[in-house]
Amino acid sequence: MKSYRKELWFNVPSRRAFINITPQVEACVRESGVKEGLVLVNAMHITASVFINDDEPGLHQDFERWLEKLAPHEPVSQYRHNDTGEDNADAHLKRQVMGREVVVAITNGKLDFGPWEQIFYGEFDGRRPKRVLVKIIGE
């Protein structure tokens, strides 16, 4: 069994953003030399997500508006977590809707994807360096 590990770093200038990280994950799969296996891609921070959906800017606006409706940032005083001096309680909630991680099959040395699947880093509390972990096991 082979294993491979890499950290991807992001420093998003805004509070929230969606970034397509499929090319970086594909590069990891190639570098790993794994032909058949699984790749785990997870946010290492608890106010960010890794998820799979469509690379379409209109949809990303819909996600942004929808997540703000489900778990609004303002007023920050509505959240007990923010009593600690933070203002990011909403980011912890949004990340639960979008998920922490994805597990993707590797087949014949490639991400085994349907026609529109793309991997995104979802940032909900940016403006500082944060990491995504890529871990691959297989043969």
**Given the rule CB under 8 A, which residues bind a copy of itself?**
1, 3, 5, 36-38, 40, 42-46, 51-54, 56-59, 61-63, 66, 70-71, 79-84, 89, 92-93, 95-105, 107, 112-117, 131, 133, 135, 137-139
Shortest spacing between CB 106 and a copy of itself, in angstroms: 8
Supply the minimum distance, in Å, between the C-beta of residue 83 and a copy of itself.
Answer: 6
In angstroms, rounded to a whole number, what is the distance separating the alpha carbons of residues 77 and 87? 8
Q: How far is the CB of 121 from a copy of itself (least distance, A)?
A: 13
Structure-token match 């960010």, residue found? 48
* Cβ atoms of residues 102 and 41 within 8 Å: yes
**Whose Cβ is closer to a copy of itself: residue 19's or residue 102's?**
102
Q: Which residue carries 């085994």 as its tokens?
A: 112
**Hey, what are 26's tokens?**
């594909």
User: Which residues have a Cβ under 8 Å from the Cβ of 129 and sit 6 or more positions away?
Assistant: 9, 10, 11
**Which lies closer to a copy of itself via its Cβ, residue 31 or residue 56?**
56
Residue closer to a copy of itself by CB (options 19, 113) is 113
What's the distance, Cα to Cα, between the start and end of the chain in Å? 5
